[in-house]
Amino acid sequence: MQTLGSIYAVLLAFVVFVVWNQFNEARAFVEREANEILDLHRTVAGLAEPTRGRVRALVCTYLDTVLHTEWPAMAGHGPDGPGPGAAIIDQMWEAIHDAEPTTDGDRSLYREVLKRLDDISDARSSRMTASRTRIPQAMRGLLYAGAVTVVASMYLFAVASFAVHAAITAALAGAISHVLFIIEDLDSCFDGHWQVSRAPFERVRQQTAACAVPAARARG
């Protein structure tokens, strides 16, 4: 039973390490995507109209879609398929491809905008994958079967005092339950008590909205 307990302790530590890494990676994907979107919004400022206005409007629409549609869906291990934001990304590609750079400076800026949009697509794909990644069911079954076995094995220990025996068993069960709760919560990185914050997207949405006000005043 000591050998079994040691193996189970190593298994718990390994799974906690894995889900914690997955959680941090998902947080990094969100930060990267939000920063790339802000960079795109700033970079297209050098493009001529109507491309600049069209791309910036699509950026705002994309941010609203991620915050109000995709984020709740990711909490439920979705959305199914590419998600509604993918169609907006495609519209951004179309808007950029419709632009016609004429000078060398325009071509250089055009390539930079394409690179930013490509980075956004990659970061988005990583974020969507992270929202759907879960511990395999076989691993989850092993974790819970091991927990029951280890706690039940306390019955085999001969302790003179029933109160002490009960306290030891309760402490072990509580510790294992707490670790399993952490694993389950971190495994769903966009839901639960510990979840990846949407603050980076909210920050970028505020910044893009702030940029739109001076631009509107200048046109007026």
Instruction: Considering only CA atoms, give the Rg of the chain.
Output: 25
- pLDDT at residue number 96: 86
23 or 212, higher pLDDT: 23
Q: What's the pLDDT band for 78 if we cut at 50, 70, 90?
A: low
pLDDT (mean) for 56-67:
91
| 131 residue type, one letter | S
81 or 60, higher pLDDT: 60
What is the Cα–Cα distance from 75 to 88, expressed in whole angstroms?
Answer: 21
pLDDT (mean) for 77-101:
82
What mean pLDDT value characterizes the chain? Answer: 84
- pLDDT at residue number 72: 86
The predicted model scores a pTM of: 0.81
pLDDT at 82 over 80: no
What is the Cα–Cα distance from 67 to 199, expressed in whole angstroms?
Answer: 10
- pLDDT at residue number 85: 87
Cα–Cα distance list, 169 to 130, 148, 150 (Å): 36, 12, 10
